[in-house]
Structure 1
């Protein structure tokens, strides 16, 4: 099954919640504090193929790194984030997902900067650092109108992370619905960055079924394989379109990466109407959580019966 899941790593002053990327509906582990001992639910020698790359069946998303508005990031969290990063790498995680747009205001690109820094400063198990795979996404900003501008975006990400090459370079979203002419230029940019050796593989994010099939054929005709497609996929977003994308990925040998499998944290069981997250998420959670009570009760019952966490139960759907 070509399904993986990817969600966001966040940190607060006292704890770091990280959730993971799971290849094939296997149960995952999600802990609310990196200080607690835990076991990873896969054999470390088992890897998932994403294009030419071999990655762990769980990976980390870094959307929260640098995002003050939605996730409440503060630079004082960096040491804690680095400890979580080190712990993940020590325990076999080698896939980290980021984007050039992750970071708000003056912290634009902060996620990539931190990730590069953490990789350089990692001094754990010998030989592990060299096997870390970075998947980053390049925003389809309206001023990126030519293939060359998109290639320059990739080069900027390489520079921010101080890498020689990126594992997977991904187009963050499609412009087909509002600027179809730009879309073709961005596709050509993916081809160029692949041909120049800036990335080992290319992928897309937030693509629907029709555009996914179009870009797959477009890239294939130019000798560039499409190795991954990210889509929002969880118990809260499990519709016909997601399943259609999944079926296309299965048939074309594209690895489907499901982001936000825990619904921004709503499926973890951590939050209630009396314990809402800070920032804009609290508004969203206040509106949605009441309608989720039957689902959350069911998840809790399943988790208790299986002696798992609610996060594990939610991500094994």
Structure 2
């Protein structure tokens, strides 16, 4: 391992595969855990290493085998990968074959023209850095993080396929692509003999874009899975903001969630959804996770966590009975697309 040898007291839970469900990614042969741990936020240098480590190891003990990263995640950029590299070397090295590591490139991480976009140089150079950060010779899934209209998609796809052909990635994915862009990537990748495994879009009760755009239908037709991010709408689909904005909450210090979207319209809708969740004996967060996972096109929902308690709480969403037709109608009534996104 690139990070050197460490002694560890960690031994994975013997029953880690007995409770967590796994779902097939499209028409591939790969199963993903229903919940995946994302390192998008709270895994930079501004959070305590031991807390982060406890969360990752606890996730693995729960049967969460997929850890989603990107060169951009921090702060600073690449810090989340470097953190995971330490945990992999110290604690998880014996289990590397049981872990799905994914990373992404193409979102800007600096002013250089080679630190953004979809060029072959950007993607493959970033992948080399990611492998060093993670201390591994390959990732399981390599994504293009966002579409780049200034680069021919043929070049981007060629770089993704090249990562697989060079043995530096086992599968490839795209993120934030429109259905039209995703289908073009599917066709080009198929021609290269490297199928598109997964697409990573934002999807939640408050963001129905994958339904409205036709992405869910495309996933079924083209045979790729969906790994959805922000299923809790940056915390809006929890009980955190039903009355006010608590100190330390994401809405007070995040570039992705602004306080002005937490208004009376949002609170009215979230309160109605929270009442439905309570009637089911669960939390609003658990209801929201169940809702995105109700679709067979969704392979896995990405969750973050700031504590092992939060991880346990979210994982318990998988234990509740399916949503009924009447409950789904209520969710449609109150879970209005655009809520919390500056749309009405």
Assess same fold via TM > 0.5. Answer: yes
Q: Partner of 1:35 in structure 2?
A: none
Q: Deviations over 1:58-108 (max 9, x none)?
A: 1111101455xxxxx614x2111111111111111100111001123xx22
| TM-score, normalising length: structure 2 | 0.70
Q: Which of 287, 296, 301 matches 1:313?
A: 287
C-alpha separation in 1, matches of 2:256 and 2:142? 32
Q: Which moved more, 1:288-297 or 1:207-216?
A: 288-297
Q: Which of 44, 51, 70 matches 2:19?
A: 44
C-alpha separation in 2, matches of 1:153 and 1:90? 30
Equivalenced residue count is 265
- Aligned pair in 2 of structure 1 residues 201, 52: CA closer, same or farther (>3 Å)? farther
Over aligned residues, Cα RMSD in angstroms?
2.6
C-alpha separation in 2, matches of 1:292 and 1:45? 32
Q: Partner of 1:287 in structure 2?
A: 261
Contact 1:101–1:108, Cα closer than 8 Å, also in 2: yes
C-alpha separation in 2, matches of 1:195 and 1:52? 18
Q: Partner of 2:272 in structure 1?
A: 298
Q: Which of 59, 64, 72 matches 1:93?
A: 64
Q: Which of 244, 253, 260 matches 1:273?
A: 244
Deviation at 1:135, TM superposition (A): 1.2
Indicate the SS of the match to 1:122: helix
Deviation at 1:184, TM superposition (A): 3.1
Contact 1:59–1:93, Cα closer than 8 Å, also in 2: yes
| TM-score, normalising length: structure 1 | 0.76
Indicate the SS of the match to 2:19: coil
Indicate the SS of the match to 2:172: strand
Q: Partner of 2:327 in structure 1?
A: none
Matched, 1:121 2:90: yes
Q: Show structure 1 runs of 5+ residues with no match.
A: 1-38, 68-72
Q: Partner of 1:34 in structure 2?
A: none
Deviation at 1:209, TM superposition (A): 0.8
Contact 1:168–1:199, Cα closer than 8 Å, also in 2: yes
Q: Show structure 2 runs of 5+ residues with no match.
A: 1-14, 292-344
C-alpha separation in 1, matches of 2:183 and 2:122? 24
Deviation at 1:153, TM superposition (A): 1.4
Indicate the SS of the match to 1:249: helix
Q: Which of 175, 180, 189 matches 1:219?
A: 189
Deviation at 1:45, TM superposition (A): 6.7
C-alpha separation in 1, matches of 2:43 and 2:62? 25
- Aligned pair in 2 of structure 1 residues 171, 242: CA closer, same or farther (>3 Å)? farther
Contact 2:43–2:52, Cα closer than 8 Å, also in 1: no
Deviation at 1:283, TM superposition (A): 6.7
Q: Deviations over 1:35-54 (max 9, x none)?
A: xxxx99x9537422334433
Contact 2:123–2:144, Cα closer than 8 Å, also in 1: no
C-alpha separation in 2, matches of 1:78 and 1:242? 40
- Aligned pair in 2 of structure 1 residues 128, 180: CA closer, same or farther (>3 Å)? closer
Contact 1:229–1:255, Cα closer than 8 Å, also in 2: yes
Q: Partner of 1:64 in structure 2?
A: 41
Q: Deviations over 1:210-258 (max 9, x none)?
A: 1011010011111110000011100111136655111100111100111
Matched, 1:248 2:218: yes
- Aligned pair in 2 of structure 1 residues 289, 95: CA closer, same or farther (>3 Å)? farther
C-alpha separation in 2, matches of 1:196 and 1:221? 17
C-alpha separation in 1, matches of 2:256 and 2:79? 24
Deviation at 1:137, TM superposition (A): 0.9
Q: What does 1:71-90 align with in structure 2 at a 5 Å threshold?
A: 74-75=46-47, 77-90=48-61
Q: Deviations over 1:175-196 (max 9, x none)?
A: 12xx143x43222110110110
